[in-house]
Structure 1
């Protein structure tokens, strides 16, 4: 497991699964092998020699201000999902989380950058009679009020998305553990050293998480950046971005703010080395991997 120290804040990457090669062409159709080949810094860590993108599902566990915080919860085990790579998983995610010092009962806060199936799955675990129970019973689960409001207003929701909300979000709400935060344009401080930053586009209420401790800082992307190829060309959009124009605007603003600073970028789907510094590179940017 990778680990980074942001001043007094400890950040642990908790792995769930590596995504199959077919994920890249589906998720980022504009990132063709020819496009990827134009940015040699992507290979071999972020892209294979044949041009396919390396992507993973992992979460970040934080030790901050005496609290244990989990940012996103992955896909989860035993859940029916339309994506074959996510369906009915059986991984050792909880064991890895515990091995990093984060037993389920010890988590104080769970931050959900947005409500997609690969970010909320471990919110819950199987209970009696086919029910779902909160996996982290002593935590407050936090997401933006705008994100929750969007999904509650969707008409004719596809069945797979409704199933995801029913098994991974609504049980948390029913147990009184879901906190909805109005995230201000300039960011909303949730905890000492932890700020929620609005990143609309992929979903209307998506947030990134900024960490600050002394002179040190980092940003956890959520899905405002799926893969480092989007640093090279911020106009590359995900096929599931709800508002691609807003997604490009959010991504470009973030990268422009971080460029040539010492703020670490931690990608929510970046394969190892996962973290790096943003540097300007021609008309775009590049990620310079950071040690962990």
Structure 2
């Protein structure tokens, strides 16, 4: 949360899906080092009626440019009160890896789907954790027992031949390589090209969020890059593919293996019985998803 504004769109989508009973958001862990990230996510969750969702922080996450929209959570009205109240501050929030262990330990076997829309920092560190008072299982064994699927917005497929590697991989290449090499459950990869094909409609930002005087989605979007710009929905695709696997919004590659080179470039090799799949999307599917995303991201909180 804090790099691109599709992070905020994805969190709004998740709340709408939980309203419909499609999923349950167990926690949000951060890979943006800014202290504002935790307050922003907490304010966002509070706006959507779920202030108790735990937020994990990673103060030593890869250094990244200052976020343009995280300060939205600090905005105040004429009366001096926060426009978007928050119950979490980075200084008192748990560490991301510790929170991941706690959430997984409390879950039933094969119950959890992890959606990673940022860097691989937290998941790579999770794999290396040792047994503790939360769980007698080491990280890799805990993941293998509790996680059904990992959905990642990362890379380009079937191979990355761009001028530079995809952003989420590039900012922490060692962690991305570790997850690609060692993660013990199936992985569904949504590459850059998939989300880039689905643009969030400017008309939704301009029309759909005025049911309240101040809305975190609208204010974040317009702060980041105002309409008529239409932002790609990279992170949202990683959610859509796991909650709607049978609606035809995407097609899947054959099973195979994703490897990440020392330069951060992804490469997929088809292999029978492989752990990895990547998403494909055509023009018709992207237009369908655009409409679905607009309807759900703009859905009112269920308070």
What is the TM-score with the length of structure 1 in the denominator? Answer: 0.38
More helix, by proportion: 2
Q: Which has the higher contact order (CA 8 A, sep 6+)?
A: 2
What is the TM-score with the length of structure 2 in the denominator? Answer: 0.37
More strand, by proportion: 1
